[in-house]
Amino acid sequence: MKNFLDYKVDAHTWITLSGGEYYPDILQDACELYKPVLVLFGQLMKSSESSIQFFLNISDVTDSWMRIQLARVFRKYVSPETPVEMLKKKTKAQEICKQFGQGFRPIQEVQKSFDTRPIPDEALCVLLWEYKDRGKKGYDLTEKFFNLFRLNFSDLEIIGPERAGRDILMKNVFADYPNPNRPIDFVIKTGEIVLAIGLARYDGDRGGAQEDDRTGGYSNCANEFLSYANFKDIKTKIIFVNDGPGLLLGSMWNDYAKLEQSWQNKIMVLTLRMVTERLTLEWLIS
């Protein structure tokens, strides 16, 4: 059976590209979606005596989608050094103010800057639009893999979130797993026998340090799980479904090939176009 490295010679023919949206076609929809965000941002700003109070007022907004959008705008105008993931968490408001509040731009300067821009601000609306479908390509990949798998293996069961949803935790697959909160994307079973576990990711434009981050994380996951599988004397495999143009950047293809070869016949790295050719029942049960 061909391994992942064998496909490198014509690698570009083995990846699947996810569609995108054209500029400036998105402008009208982006402005309609985010105009209410900018209007509320302005109202909260004008009623706040300081930038710290401004952020606390944003954190009190009950609608989670609106609060997250306001926090993103706040980061652009007031505190670009604040980690965006912290801004999303309502419970982190006081902690953010304590740690980053001294670096907030003064509310008077924020007001002046905000007043120089139109409502809606096309540039900012486009920036926010970029966040809107973040993760969608990954969800599309997982859904397509599930559909392909069920088409080719109607007698096997595949479990996991097909689009958005909570990851499967390893403690729910193997009760005695030493890293119980290790998240995975899917489990392949026949009856009560777990044939494989796996992760699925779409690599859009990863490069540089991100290459090491992705493949290093995969390597840690594989070594951890397969060491456990050897100790427990189980034959469960691990599958990494990856796709997208990021696979063609830098050393990504070679790194994935090296990962696949690191545990003889226990790891498989796949793009969607390889599923029918490479993923077989014989490999799963061997």
Where do runs of H (alpha helix) occur along the chain?
A: 27-46, 51-59, 64-77, 84-88, 93-100, 107-115, 122-132, 136-152, 209-232, 252-261, 275-278, 281-285
> pLDDT tens for residues 168-218?
999 999 999 999 999 999 999 999 999 999 999 988 765 544 555 678 889
Question: pLDDT > 90: what percent of the chain?
Answer: 74
Q: What is the average pLDDT value for the chain, to the nearest integer?
A: 91
Radius of gyration over every alpha carbon of the chain, rounded to an integer in angstroms = 23
Domains identified in the chain and CATH numbers:
27-132 (no CATH), 135-285 (3.40.91)
Lowest mean pLDDT among 18-22, 34-38, 56-60, 242-246: 18-22
pTM of the model: 0.76
